[in-house]
Chains A and B, each alone.
Chain A
């Protein structure tokens, strides 16, 4: 079998070409997933580019992205396949007047033509290269998780009426999780595990520079430093990378070249989404003595 990537470095250069800045862990795990033919379970705080990773990998491979969004109550008929009852009924009705036997009809109505493929089956049947993204897998119930096991370990789907359908190629599979519950051991065992955390300052600065080309280097540097500083506080919700980017864009629109305390505090609501977090962060940024100095606007 041909491998998709030469080395981990190859992965990271190609990801960089599509504006996704990876780090060693990300590149290494994507590389391994390709070599070992295993799915990747991506976990981490919201807004750190878990879903984007799958999209970017699809982009560099020129593959079609098939996405299964998980939610509570997701079942076989939404994830795997479903028989097209209506069409089957029509078929039976249409056959009523002809003299074909019941066996004929039965084999007929349980054929590919009456099968509605859902994302998982679609990924298995695909002839062209595909990347399968199973998003927010922690949202389905533990029982439903078992649905995924066959496809994740053997890349096949069993349909009672048709038998087992094996994949024509091994697709790259990404599962993302926000860790709202512990996933089952069986699922974890079948996957490579990748935890994506908030990027360190250097990488965040690079991300800002890549995604917002018109920003100056010094502003990007300042943005990344302030965000790092804010993330060290104990907050309900730390700013994510996407919020950093929004903030940087806002500062750019406001024509700020160098962030002052006042600028930072006025625009904090873009970075933080809870009032208590905003209050806390603005207090911290001003510093205790800073709050007493005249000329520094206070927020309350």
Chain B
């Protein structure tokens, strides 16, 4: 192999800053990987930006859920930079002014040229151009329009320490992309010789939506480029830093984060299932397999040196999930229910119970439901969980649970209790947990609160925890995964 060329030093500096930022975002980049990346880029033509990006990704990002974080940092560090992205008055970077509406439609007109046409346009003309760009899926024109729209609508001011979201919102509000979508759909309806069928209409809509998505991404990238030019790479990267999906706190996740959480959760439940299944098969040995032992002994000249065993009969684990769905853990509860739903897809015998101060079995809501949100809605509206006032009462809920379902707990049962154990100073009735763990195979408690808050105020998690096989802080996917790992 040829000796590795050392990349030129400004590049090296930028790259090491880039890697520092990746680590700050939580990506585990090791020294070896760092060196690999340095070597990889010597084989790639630097001017080919996407090859460069994939070279870095292949060497530095070893987990697909980290891709988003990587991409954000990459865009900040290696976006196109230059004076034309300065925040100053937008007029001087696009000197070319044409009134001709048709010019941008000319396929020869590149991104910058087409953008120039926007300067003197009235808002109506701009809307028309946007419509054209969307209809034809013209990437060059979209990019130009994105630049134009940001210059015109975002109202960016140099040195203002706000994030890009605000500018994005302002720009999008003025562009009215939803309106454009409707117009596109109307036009598609008119142009088709026969009325569009549902299917055709859906496909058309999908196509236009994906184009509009592309437009939004262009605008976002444009705003980011300008912010980077204005505020410098490090500051910008810091502003954009977001927790990785596995570090997002369940209790404070926003909508977008919840979606990525749900995606990340599916492999986790599969892992959980695989894990339990594997333990079931290899956990203990079955009876001696005489035939196999004799056959094996032939390799040792007839000495049965390596006894063989039959596989044990797999036992089917039964899982009881008991979850608090009161207001204090509402965000966590939603997540819990999704977890329950995902688990019940993997195991044949999962029973789920929810409680506030009363308790109800909700297994039936998850059966044969194809849409988790329907199930969650039914749990929240139909389950009979309020006994007196709808404030958490763990003691009463557990007591009723024991009375109604206690005798169904068998040595095969694993009980998962999810809640913060904030009992509003009611009686704890922790004997229920004690009895439960005598009968069940395991009892685990998952607490969505930070460990520092346990046993403060009305939290009595230790009272209960003392009788379980373990209480685990479970605030993000990483902790949940850790729990799954030590399970059994």
Among residues 22 to 68 in chain B, which have CB atoms less than 8 Å away from a CB atom of chain A? 28, 30, 32-33, 36, 39-40, 43-44, 50-51, 54-55, 57-59, 61-64, 67
Is B271 a contact partner of A234 (Cβ separation < 8 A)?
Answer: no
Whether B8 is near chain A, meaning CB under 8 Å from some CB there, is: no
Whether A203 is near chain B, meaning CB under 8 Å from some CB there, is: no
Given that A181-B274, A192-B58, A232-B206 are contacting pairs, would A285 and B267 also be in contact in the complex, using a CB cutoff of 8 Å?
no
Select A28's contact among B1, B51, B372, beta carbons within 8 Å: B51
Among residues 246 to 277 in chain B, which have CB atoms less than 8 Å away from a CB atom of chain A? 267, 270-271, 274-275
Whether B345 is near chain A, meaning CB under 8 Å from some CB there, is: yes
Smallest CB gap from B42: residue in A: A35
Is A28 a contact partner of B55 (Cβ separation < 8 A)?
Answer: yes
**A40 partner residues in chain B, CB cutoff 8 A:** 58
Minimum CB–CB distance for A148 against chain B, Å? 15
* Cα distance A40–B61 in the bound complex, in angstroms: 13
* Cα distance A284–B371 in the bound complex, in angstroms: 13
Interface string of B55-83 (1 = CB under 8 A from A): 10111011110010000000000000000
Among residues 215 to 265 in chain A, which have CB atoms less than 8 Å away from a CB atom of chain B? 222, 225-226, 228-229, 232, 234, 236, 259-261, 264
**A297 partner residues in chain B, CB cutoff 8 A:** none
Smallest CB gap from A72: residue in B: B278
Is B33 a contact partner of A180 (Cβ separation < 8 A)?
Answer: no
Stretch at the interface among B98-106, B118-126, B197-205, B451-459: B197-205
**A259 partner residues in chain B, CB cutoff 8 A:** 199
Is A264 a contact partner of B199 (Cβ separation < 8 A)?
Answer: yes
* Cα distance A191–B203 in the bound complex, in angstroms: 40
Whether B370 is near chain A, meaning CB under 8 Å from some CB there, is: yes
Whether A289 is near chain B, meaning CB under 8 Å from some CB there, is: yes
Counting chain B CB atoms within 10 Å of each CB, the highest count among A28, A37, A89, A259 belongs to A28
Among residues 152 to 183 in chain A, which have CB atoms less than 8 Å away from a CB atom of chain B? 179-182
Is B197 a contact partner of A261 (Cβ separation < 8 A)?
Answer: yes
Given that A35-B43, A85-B299, A179-B267 are contacting pairs, would A188 and B51 also be in contact in the complex, using a CB cutoff of 8 Å?
no
**B372 partner residues in chain A, CB cutoff 8 A:** 234
> How many residues of A are counted as interface, with CB atoms below 8 angstroms from the partner's CB atoms?
55
**A284 partner residues in chain B, CB cutoff 8 A:** 202
Is B36 a contact partner of A36 (Cβ separation < 8 A)?
Answer: yes
Select A24's contact among B51, B63, B300, beta carbons within 8 Å: B51
Is B58 a contact partner of A193 (Cβ separation < 8 A)?
Answer: yes
Whether B469 is near chain A, meaning CB under 8 Å from some CB there, is: no
Select A89's contact among B50, B275, B282, B301, beta carbons within 8 Å: B301
* Cα distance A97–B337 in the bound complex, in angstroms: 75
Whether A68 is near chain B, meaning CB under 8 Å from some CB there, is: no
Select B36's contact among A38, A180, A225, A234, beta carbons within 8 Å: A38
Smallest CB gap from B274: residue in A: A180
* Cα distance A1–B54 in the bound complex, in angstroms: 24
Is B40 a contact partner of A43 (Cβ separation < 8 A)?
Answer: no
* Cα distance A250–B198 in the bound complex, in angstroms: 22
**A86 partner residues in chain B, CB cutoff 8 A:** 298-299
Interface string of A251-282 (1 = CB under 8 A from B): 00000000111001000000000001101100
> How many residues of B are counted as interface, with CB atoms below 8 angstroms from the partner's CB atoms?
49
Is B299 a contact partner of A193 (Cβ separation < 8 A)?
Answer: no
Is B199 a contact partner of A226 (Cβ separation < 8 A)?
Answer: yes
**B281 partner residues in chain A, CB cutoff 8 A:** 72
Whether A185 is near chain B, meaning CB under 8 Å from some CB there, is: yes
Whether A149 is near chain B, meaning CB under 8 Å from some CB there, is: no
Is B207 a contact partner of A28 (Cβ separation < 8 A)?
Answer: no
Interface of B is mostly: helix
Whether A63 is near chain B, meaning CB under 8 Å from some CB there, is: no
Smallest CB gap from B43: residue in A: A35
Minimum CB–CB distance for B293 against chain A, Å? 16
**A290 partner residues in chain B, CB cutoff 8 A:** 197-199
* Cα distance A35–B43 in the bound complex, in angstroms: 7
Is A32 a contact partner of B197 (Cβ separation < 8 A)?
Answer: no
**A85 partner residues in chain B, CB cutoff 8 A:** 299-300
Select B206's contact among A89, A188, A228, A236, beta carbons within 8 Å: A228
Interface string of A283-300 (1 = CB under 8 A from B): 011110110000000000
Smallest CB gap from A28: residue in B: B54
**A194 partner residues in chain B, CB cutoff 8 A:** 58
Is B1 a contact partner of A1 (Cβ separation < 8 A)?
Answer: yes
* Cα distance A222–B206 in the bound complex, in angstroms: 12
* Cα distance A201–B209 in the bound complex, in angstroms: 13
Is A261 a contact partner of B199 (Cβ separation < 8 A)?
Answer: yes
Is A195 a contact partner of B67 (Cβ separation < 8 A)?
Answer: yes
Select A226's contact among B28, B203, B275, B300, beta carbons within 8 Å: B203
Is B271 a contact partner of A181 (Cβ separation < 8 A)?
Answer: yes
Among all A-B residue pairs, the 9 with the closest Cβ atoms: A290-B198, A287-B198, A28-B54, A188-B62, A276-B370, A192-B58, A85-B299, A35-B43, A261-B199
Q: List 19 A-B contacts (CB under 8 A).
A: A28-B44, A28-B50, A31-B43, A36-B39, A40-B58, A41-B62, A72-B278, A179-B64, A180-B270, A185-B28, A185-B30, A189-B32, A192-B58, A192-B59, A229-B202, A280-B370, A286-B199, A287-B202, A290-B197
**Told that A32-B44, A192-B59 touch, could you supply 9 new A-B pairs with CB distance under 8 A?**
A1-B1, A35-B43, A44-B64, A192-B58, A229-B202, A229-B203, A229-B206, A285-B202, A286-B199
User: Taking beta carbons and an 8 Å cutoff, which residues of A are in contact with B?
Assistant: 1, 8, 24-25, 28-29, 31-32, 35-38, 40-41, 43-44, 72, 85-86, 89, 179-182, 185, 188-189, 191-195, 201, 222, 225-226, 228-229, 232, 234, 236, 259-261, 264, 276-277, 279-280, 284-287, 289-290
